[in-house]
Amino acid sequence: MAENRRFTTAAGVPVANNTDIMTAGPRGPALLQDVWLIEKLAHFDREVIPERRMHAKGWGAYGTFTVTHDITRFTRAKIFSEVGKKTDLFTRFSSVAGERGAADAERDIRGFAVKFYTEEGNWDLVGNNTPVFFFRDPLRFPDLNHAIKRDPRTGLRSADNNWDFWSLLPEALHQVTIVMSERGLPKSFRHMHGFGSHTFSMINAANERVWVKFHFRTQQGIQNLTDAEAGEIVKNDRESHGRDLFTAIECGNFPKWTMFIQVMTEEQAKHHRHNPFDLTKVWPRGAYPLIEVGEFELNRNQENYFAEVEQSAFSPANVVPGIGFSPDKMLQARLFSYADAQRYRLGVNFNHIPVNAPKCPFHSYHRDGAMRTDGNLGGTRTYYPNSDDLWANQAAFAEPPMSVDGDGARWDHRVDDDHWEQPGNLFRAMNPAQQEALFGNTARAMGDAADHIKRRHIENCTRADPAYGAGVAAALGLALVAQADE
């Protein structure tokens, strides 16, 4: 038999028989010494790893980012150092609320996570297909997930829980309006935009900082599904988005997105009429126009779904020199949460899994830990300072100081706030057919939620625009009970 066809245990020992359990006599009970049976079942028993708490259902692909426009005036990041420069990347798209077995074609936000394997380390942009989020305080995040996932008593998804929570958070209306609009149910991952959503920073060679938002605009065009179309698709195919992406790439029909940035100077930020680090708001494009940067193409499917897509680990904390964070409270909390989740989901050495490993040399003093399989730095001294002069700080990459002010406290971010203007603007920018779709989608999604919750949402919509509230009320068959604020 050819060497590569011989069947062995994980320890490389030949398996003599993979079809008959070892028993005492032909009809007798099993023998403990059937170590192959025990190994096979024990491995099987551990084949499931925890799914991501949110964004559990997802699909991935590799690709290439190409710089098309010079932005070195804003950033010294090597990935943007010259026009024409190419960088490899891995992307994972996902839905948010459903579990790993959920159907793809459901009304939900889509995750849009990109890992750029730059020569100065991995840069992860872990965004969504929406430019804003439901709230601006990270203490809300676990509650969001408890509200949109399964009810603790029934184990069922609950419109009542979901809309109770959303309608009690007026700042959620902007995101809720997007999710209930036509764009809340993309036809496929290829037909949606992506957004970094948060405000990030860029730092140039002169060590000057600007605030930045990232946008990926689909070159395939926006295409959406109606609830009815999605219902038909789900009946026949729960994996419609994954199948679409895999098939397109396999056929050489590579999807592309154009990357843009919006830029705000530190001085402009001081005078911006809203908090520029508020994740529930967009920066108006009139004042902060889109600046084209480059494009990325997805052109290679994974060889193994579990190894590459399921074990991929993205984190907003992964930035490279020239790209930095901002005081956005949500971003600040995410800097902790992702690697923390991944240490639990994949183990402390998750960065060694090939899809997550940097493609540039990397030297940290971390050692040991579960599943350390790369030689563990051999005999290298893993303390600092050391007499071997290993590995020195790279002081040239230090960021300029970020000026902050104020007293440390739990500040009430609801003070002086405007929850209604931007969702109202979004509503008014829709044509009548799009507004009708918004009303109908909202009414269907609210389903059997209690009337007082429906009325509370109508009240929120009315504050954004009386016609928005009236439309949702009519679609729900409820009389208008609230008027807009004076």
Kindly write out the interface string for residues 118-157 of this chain, putting x where it contacts ligand HEM by CB under 6 A and - elsewhere: --------xxx----x----x--x----------------
| CA dihedral sign, ordered 339, 81, 292, 279 | positive
Q: Does 454 bind ligand HEM (CB under 6 A)?
A: no
| Beta bridge mates, 110 | 95
Nearest to 92 by CA among 355, 339, 303, 291: 355
Q: Single out the residue of 323, 108, 113 nearest to residue 213, CA to CA.
A: 323
Q: What is the DSSP string of 222-248?
A: --B--HHHHHHHHHH-TTHHHHHHHHH
Considering only CA atoms, which of 192, 218, 223, 166 is closest in space to residue 109? 192
Give the residue with the Cβ less far from ligand HEM, 211 or 468. 211
Footprint of ligand HEM on 302-331 (CB under 6 A): 312-314, 330
Residue among 113 and 298 whose Cβ is closer to ligand HEM: 113
Structure tokens at 378: 């051999």
Q: Counting contacts by CB under 6 A, is residue 174 touching ligand HEM?
A: no
What is the closest distance, in whole angstroms, from the C-beta atom of residue 396 to ligand HEM in the complex?
31
Q: Is 337 a residue that touches ligand HEM (CB under 6 A)?
A: yes
Contact predicate 429/388, CB 8 Å? no
Which position among 122, 128, 318, 356 bears the catalytic label? 128
Q: Which of residues 58-117 bind ligand HEM (CB under 6 A)?
A: 58, 92, 94, 111, 113
For residue 276, the tally of other CB atoms under 10 A from its CB is: 21
CA distances from 485 to 19, 419, 458 (A): 74, 12, 13
Q: Closest-CB residue for ligand HEM?
A: 111
| Least distance between ligand HEM and beta carbon 433 (Å) | 28
Cβ distance 216 to 296 under 8 Å? yes
Assess whether 301 carries a catalytic annotation: no
Known binding residue 383? Answer is no
In whole angstroms, what is the distance from residue 149 CA to residue 202 CA? 36
128 is catalytic: yes
CB of 350 to ligand HEM, least distance (A): 9
Which C-beta is closer to ligand HEM: that of 314 or that of 427?
Answer: 314
Question: Shortest approach of ligand HEM to residue 256 CB, angstroms?
Answer: 20
Say how far residue 440 (Cα) sits from the centre of its chain. 27
The residues annotated as belonging to the active site are 55, 128
Binding-site annotation, residues for heme:
338
Residues that bind ligand HEM (CB under 6 A): 52-55, 58, 92, 94, 111, 113, 126-128, 133, 138, 141, 197, 312-314, 330, 333-334, 337-338, 341-342, 345
